[in-house]
């Protein structure tokens, strides 16, 4: 079996940047999947993330089974809540919303997920998830009923990321929110990546190849693209 986390660590060590395409199951139909996956297979993507803030988990297994038939890229669940778990995926970013102070997303949803997770062989990758203010209310903010961290206070964000690492998170994810007006500031990416040793994921509001490159150059180990690819399947051409 693949060890996805070891592969991410190896990529970080070798400075090979990783690119994940985020698919929101709410916006996916079985019919649209084939064309979409062809585009993903010919893109520079290294991972597929599947999840959304408000999706209820229905037809997730079916979608992932179809995805797996059509691509060899690793599929990681990126769950908005404890119902978004499918044994068909390869792994799960087991998220802790470190920016918020709502116990439901710090521990309760994780407790609820355990009986489901125990029935799977998913690789579970503990991920500190940090929501950053990005110009308007994000779905994560709305659903989790938490406030994002100040985009002008990189020191506090870096301190939060470090706390996540010390707690035992194996990845840190800086999130501006899907479709964010403003992506994560580059100086924040730089500050966080210097403060932590675990790999850093950055996503939300990145709409151009330059935006991806800038995030990589600032210190992101993995960049996540959702909306830009959703709106234009030729984004990577």
Question: x/- string (CB under 6 A) for ligand 1GP, residues 207-226?
Answer: -----------------xxx
Distance CA 131, CA 141 (A): 8
**Which residue, 90 or 230, is less far from ligand 1GP as judged by CB?**
230
Stretch that binds ligand 1GP, among 26-34, 56-64, 103-111, 177-185 (CB under 6 A): 177-185
CB of 51 to ligand 1GP, least distance (A): 8
Coil, strand, or helix at residue 108? helix
**Least distance to ligand 1GP, CB of residue 125, Å:** 16
Judged by beta carbon, residue 152 or residue 231, the one nearer ligand 1GP is 231
Q: Which of residues 109-148 bind ligand 1GP (CB under 6 A)?
A: none
Question: What are the C-alpha distances in Å from 151 to residues 49, 110, 162, 187?
Answer: 25, 27, 17, 10
Burial (0-12, 13-18, 19+ Cβ within 10 Å), 112: middle
Residue 223, SS3?
A: strand
Q: Is 193 among the residues that bind ligand 1GP (CB under 6 A)?
A: no
Site for ligand 1GP in 6-65 (CB under 6 A): 22
Site string for ligand 1GP, 69-98 (x = CB under 6 A): ------------------------------
Q: Is 228 in the site for ligand 1GP (CB under 6 A)?
A: yes
Among residues 12, 46, 45, 54, the alpha carbon closest in space to that of 141 is found at: 54
Q: Taking CB under 6 A as the rule, does residue 175 contact ligand 1GP?
A: yes
164 vs 226, beta carbon nearer ligand 1GP: 226
Pick between residue 6 and residue 231 the one whose CB is nearest to ligand 1GP: 231
Sequence-separated (6 or more) residues with CB below 8 Å from residue 193: 200, 218, 219, 220, 221
Among the listed residues 153, 188, 194, 156, the one whose alpha carbon sits nearest the alpha carbon of residue 174: 188
Written as one string, the DSSP assignment of 17-69 is -EEEEEE-GGG--HHHHHHHHHHHHTSS--EEEE--SS---TTHHHHHHHHHH
Only one of the segments 28-36, 37-45, 171-179, 188-196 lies at the binding site for ligand 1GP (rule: CB under 6 A); that segment is 171-179
Number of helices (H), then strands (E), belonging to the chain: the values are: 10, 8
Radius of gyration from C-alpha coordinates of the chain: 16
Smallest separation (angstroms) from ligand 1GP to the CB of 115: 26
Q: Which residues bind ligand 1GP (CB under 6 A)?
A: 22, 175, 178-180, 203-206, 224-228
């Amino acid at each position: 079996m693949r060890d996805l986390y070891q592969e991410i660590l190896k990529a970080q060590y070798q400075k090979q940047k990783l690119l994940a395409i985020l698919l929101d199951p709410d916006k996916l139909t079985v019919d649209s999947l084939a064309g979409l996956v062809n585009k993903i297979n010919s893109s520079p993507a290294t991972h597929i993330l599947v999840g959304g803030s408000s999706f209820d988990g229905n037809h997730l297994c079916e979608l992932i089974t179809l995805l797996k038939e059509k691509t060899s890229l690793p599929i990681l669940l990126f769950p908005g809540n404890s119902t978004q778990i499918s044994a068909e995926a390869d792994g799960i970013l087991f998220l802790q919303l470190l920016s918020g102070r709502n116990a439901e997303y710090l521990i309760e949803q994780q407790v609820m997920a355990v009986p489901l997770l125990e029935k799977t062989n998913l690789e579970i990758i503990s991920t500190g998830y940090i929501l950053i203010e990005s110009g308007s209310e994000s779905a994560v903010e709305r659903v989790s009923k938490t406030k994002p961290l100040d985009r002008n206070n990189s020191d506090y964000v870096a301190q939060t990321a470090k706390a996540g690492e010390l707690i035992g998170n194996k990845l840190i994810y800086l999130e501006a929110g899907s479709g964010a007006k403003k992506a994560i500031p580059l100086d924040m990416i730089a500050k966080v990546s210097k403060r932590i040793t675990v790999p850093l994921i950055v996503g939300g509001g990145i709409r151009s190849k330059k935006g991806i490159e800038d995030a990589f150059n600032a210190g992101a180990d993995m960049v996540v693209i959702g909306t830009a690819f959703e709106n234009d399947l030729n984004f990577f051409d």
